[in-house]
């Protein structure tokens, strides 16, 4: 009998190319991954890996097995959802991954609602950037992603996953309260900025938007923490682009105005296709939607 966990490791190797990358994503040592795949070869009775330089590559049999693994995992997801739906209470563990501003705003409210509605359901929350979140969802490390999509960004949701919209979140220009209101972004050419790193969609979009306005930002702080960005604005050291989800107590003592073109980022949840009907997923999405109606500025 083929071991499902080892099949998952083989699938990740087909996606990532190296044992070290599989080990990094799944929090194993490369030697542990190698050992598990050696055991899978014994179970399969055929070679699955062949050496290439210092690495390995999948054999034709291994690639065929990966295709079947995708099918097996999808069936197991659906079976798990059906079993959970057969019980009268929503229980178990739901592993959720999210980004900063959702963690600081709508997620706590959703957890409060969920605790009251389904006290037997335990939620574990992981803070991850969007790429790592979807890597983990595909690898069955997480059950649900709270994600965001910035303007003009391709849909980050991957094949085999289902997306459900939450709301659109206006993006605001945040400045210290005592600064004069700029007539255009060009008026901020000499300002210092707090921005997301360039490897993140938000950081790419802000730099592109400023570039289109003829502004090369003088970056005071390169950070993916929006609360630190807001704090630098509040204390008079920087300007920043801040999601309106952080309005209220986070943006006190600041001046916020709508950006040209009124851009928004879109918030959503995503799960693997086989998990859409899982009671825990449905319960969490319902609580999150309720929290969004309370917290989001456009609902």
What tokens appear for 277 in the block? 């009907």
Residues 156 and 273 in one domain: yes
pLDDT, mean over the chain: 91
What stretch of H or E contains 256?
strand 254-258
Residues 228 and 108 in one domain: no
* Exposure string over 54-84, b if 16+ CB within 10 A, otherwise e: eebebeeebeebbeebeebbeeebbebbeeb
Residues 270 and 259 in one domain: no
Residues 138 and 272 in one domain: yes
How confident is the model over 77-132, as pLDDT tens digits? 999 999 999 999 999 999 999 988 888 889 999 999 999 999 999 999 999 888 88
Q: Please compute the mean of the pLDDT values over residues 16-24 and round it to a whole number.
A: 88
What tokens appear for 171 in the block? 């993006």
CATH at 201:
3.40.190.10
Total number of domains in the chain:
3
pLDDT(294) > 80: no
How confident is the model over 247-263, as pLDDT tens digits? 777 777 888 899 999 99
pLDDT value of position 237: 95
Residues 270 and 160 in one domain: yes
**Cβ(16)–Cβ(25) below 8 Å:** yes
| Domain final residue pick, 34, 64, 83 | 83
Q: Model pTM?
A: 0.85
**Cβ(264)–Cβ(296) below 8 Å:** no
CATH at 42:
1.10.10.10
| Domain final residue pick, 83, 110, 131 | 83
Angle at the Cα of 24 (from 144 to 60), degrees rounded to 5?
Answer: 90
Number of H helices, E strands in the chain: 10, 11
pLDDT value of position 296: 58
Q: Please compute the mean of the pLDDT values over residues 131-135 and round it to a whole number.
A: 88
Report CA 69 to chain centroid distance, whole Å.
24
How confident is the model over 180-205, as pLDDT tens digits? 889 899 999 999 999 999 999 999 99
Q: How large is the greatest C-alpha to C-alpha distance in the chain, in angstroms?
A: 73
Residues 191 and 134 in one domain: no
| Domain final residue pick, 33, 65, 83 | 83
Residues 194 and 236 in one domain: yes
Domain residue limits at 256: 169-263
Neighbours of 159 (CB within 10 A): 7
């Amino acid at each position: 009998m083929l071991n499902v966990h080892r099949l998952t490791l083989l699938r990740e190797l087909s996606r990532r190319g190296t044992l070290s990358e599989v080990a990094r994503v799944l929090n194993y040592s490369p030697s542990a991954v190698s050992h598990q795949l050696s055991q899978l070869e014994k179970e399969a009775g055929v070679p699955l890996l062949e050496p290439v330089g210092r690495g390995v590559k999948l054999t034709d049999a291994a690639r065929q097995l990966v295709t079947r693994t995708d099918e097996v995992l999808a069936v197991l997801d659906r079976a798990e959802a059906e079993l959970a739906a057969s019980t009268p209470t929503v229980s178990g563990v739901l592993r959720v991954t999210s980004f900063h501003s959702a963690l600081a705003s709508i997620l706590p409210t959703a957890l409060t609602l969920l605790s009251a509605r389904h006290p037997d359901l335990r939620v574990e929350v992981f803070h991850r950037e969007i790429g790592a979140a979807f890597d983990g969802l595909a690898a069955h490390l997480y059950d649900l992603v709270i994600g965001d999509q910035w303007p003009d960004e391709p849909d980050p949701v991957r094949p085999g996953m289902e997306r459900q919209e939450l709301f659109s979140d206006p993006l605001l220009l945040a400045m210290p309260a005592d600064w004069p209101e700029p007539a255009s972004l060009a008026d901020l050419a000499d300002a210092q900025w707090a921005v997301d790193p360039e490897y993140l969609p938000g950081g790419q979009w802000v730099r592109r938007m400023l570039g289109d306005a003829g502004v090369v930002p003088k970056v005071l702080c390169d950070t993916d923490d929006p609360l630190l960005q807001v704090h630098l604005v509040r204390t008079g050291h920087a300007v920043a682009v801040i999601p309106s989800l952080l309005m209220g107590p986070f943006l006190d003592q600041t001046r916020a105005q709508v950006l040209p073109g009124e851009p928004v980022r879109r918030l959503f949840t995503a799960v693997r296709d086989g998990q859409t009907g899982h009671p825990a997923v449905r319960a969490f999405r319902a609580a999150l939607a309720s929290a969004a109606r309370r917290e989001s500025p456009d609902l």
